[in-house]
């Protein structure tokens, strides 16, 4: 919180505000100088992007805590807790974003004009049901999941086939259902298809992973890849994760914290983790917690709800995005055995405006490569690979459900060096995938869903 001119008086409240709603706190202490919408007045504007005294979360929190006596701004460190101060930083971010919403690319005659690349959206499929995941079969066919349970094949001509018979029963509750699908990289020789889904019953459920084959539209040869111990099943209906990727003979998949945030730090529990197993479900002997965990498949921990997981082409890097609470969606570079902090550190606050923690970073916990505050509700992600989109070559495309955006991120040696919204307000972005030939496909979700292909235009 910075100020342009001097002194103002705020009402001091002696009672504890530890659980106060952040809007109430802002109204009490900040509105008189900075305006109800952050527009400024006696103090600086939070929405003009003129961050004269620092714009990072740490810098803003420091100004609120320590004040700026030379400008007549008092210190609030004795009035507000560190948690409240961090919540105010989130609220300031929200005010700034509300006043500076990212612009959609200009669309002329059906062609979107982005900074480096023009494209048009071709609708491959309209579906009355909500699709969740997509993967690619030979000869231009695709396989998709629907949240209510069916798994279906889209033929090369765009025809949606009937539900594959015999796929696993799912728990359709809240965010649970049939989730991701992933075709094995050597599918043409082994025929394996992997499914991740909510398994159990309406009272207790957990994310599970199986693999099987499809013969004459029937699911056969099913094998269990991952199933948690039933003592870890939960009754909540959210934060199942999940995405599946393959790397060097291993399968990686994510499971959210299922609404029990503290479990993300518990190395015995599967929740709030990214997992690694052999392609047949066996536990690798070199997993980081294989000898001291009740869930030896854990690869990394401290995650809230990762709904994107991708390999960076030409490297061994695994990247993930995960939903934050109110603020604090994260982009993470996933490494063996590391703790990504949730809920001990976060850039977000509770949905009701209550603080979670004062910490955005702590020793022994990995900081995100970047975060979104306010949240865009990250979901679906793909690296641009191949020659179809020369203006986006090597860039990362990240989808947002709530914000209905696709952001393009250019990754440099020390982080993100360029950001751009390349799609906006076309629907909730459920999944983004790069096909074997390098074309980008997007699942857009509204009442039903659409599968669209981004076709480059010269």
Q: Half-sphere exposure of residue 133, counting CA atoms within 13 Å on the CB side? A: 25
Q: Which of these, 189, 198, 211, 433, lies nearest to 310 by C-alpha position?
A: 433
Instruction: Write the CB contacts of 22 (distance below 8 Å, at least 6 apart in sequence).
Output: 84, 87, 88, 90, 91, 349, 353, 354, 355
H or E element, residue 47: none
161's tokens: 């086939």
- Tell me phi and psi for residue 294, to 5 degrees: -75, -5
229's tokens: 């111990």
| Distance between start and end Cα atoms, the chain | 46
- What sign for the dihedral angle of Cα 131, 135, 137, 141? positive
The answer to whether the CB of 337 falls within 8 A of the CB of 368 is no
H or E element, residue 31: helix 31-34
Provide DSSP, 274-312. EEEEETTSPPPTT-TTTTS-SSTTEEEE--S-EEEEEEP
In the sheet that 298-301 helps form, which strands lie side by side, from edge to edge?
A: 244-247, 250-255, 273-278, 298-301
Residue in the block written with tokens 């109430």:
24
Kindly list the catalytic residues. 239
Cα–Cα distance for residue pair 346/90, rounded to 1 Å: 11
- Residue 92 DSSP one-character state: H
Coil/strand/helix, residue 123: strand
């Amino acid at each position: 919180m910075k100020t342009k001119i001097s002194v103002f008086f705020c009402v001091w409240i002696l009672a504890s505000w530890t659980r106060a709603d952040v809007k109430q706190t802002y109204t009490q202490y900040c509105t008189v100088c900075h305006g109800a919408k952050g527009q400024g007045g006696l103090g600086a504007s939070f929405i003009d992007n003129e961050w004269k005294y620092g714009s990072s979360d740490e810098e803003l929190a420091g100004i609120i805590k320590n004040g700026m006596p030379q400008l007549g701004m008092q210190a609030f460190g004795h009035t507000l807790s560190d948690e409240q101060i961090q919540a105010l930083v989130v609220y300031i971010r929200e005010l700034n974003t509300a006043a500076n919403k990212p612009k959609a690319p200009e669309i002329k005659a059906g062609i979107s004009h982005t900074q480096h690349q023009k494209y048009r959206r071709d609708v491959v499929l309209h579906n009355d049901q909500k699709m969740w995941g997509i993967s690619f079969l030979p000869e231009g066919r695709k396989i998709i999941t629907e949240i209510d349970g069916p798994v279906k094949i889209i033929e090369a001509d765009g025809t949606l086939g009937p539900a594959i018979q015999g796929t696993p029963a799912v728990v359709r509750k809240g965010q649970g259902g049939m989730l991701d699908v992933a075709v094995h990289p050597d599918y043409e020789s082994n025929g394996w298809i992997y499914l991740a889904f909510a398994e159990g019953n309406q009272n207790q459920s957990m994310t599970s992973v199986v693999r099987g084959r499809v013969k004459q539209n029937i699911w056969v040869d099913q094998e269990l890849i991952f199933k948690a111990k039933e003592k870890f099943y939960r009754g909540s209906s959210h934060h199942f994760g999940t995405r599946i990727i393959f790397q060097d003979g291993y399968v990686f998949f994510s499971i959210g914290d299922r609404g029990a945030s503290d479990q993300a730090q518990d190395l015995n529990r599967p929740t709030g983790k990214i997992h690694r197993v052999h392609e047949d479900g066996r536990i690798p002997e070199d997993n980081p917690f294989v000898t001291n965990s009740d869930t030896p498949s854990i690869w990394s921990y401290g995650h809230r709800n990762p709904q994107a997981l991708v390999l960076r082409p030409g490297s061994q890097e695994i990247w993930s995005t995960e939903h934050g609470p109110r603020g604090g969606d994260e982009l993470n570079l996933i490494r063996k055995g590391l703790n990504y902090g949730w809920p001990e550190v976060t850039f977000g606050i509770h949905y009701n405006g209550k603080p979670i923690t004062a910490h955005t970073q702590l020793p022994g916990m990995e900081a995100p490569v970047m975060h979104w505050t306010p949240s865009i509700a990250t979901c679906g992600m793909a690296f641009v690979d191949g020659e179809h989109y020369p203006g986006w070559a090597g860039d990362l495309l990240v989808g947002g459900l709530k914000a209905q955006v696709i952001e393009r991120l250019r990754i440099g040696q020390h982080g993100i060096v360029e950001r751009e919204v390349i799609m906006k307000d076309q629907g909730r972005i459920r999944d983004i995938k790069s096909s074997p030939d390098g074309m980008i496909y997007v699942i857009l979700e509204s009442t039903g869903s659409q599968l669209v292909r981004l076709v480059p235009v010269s």
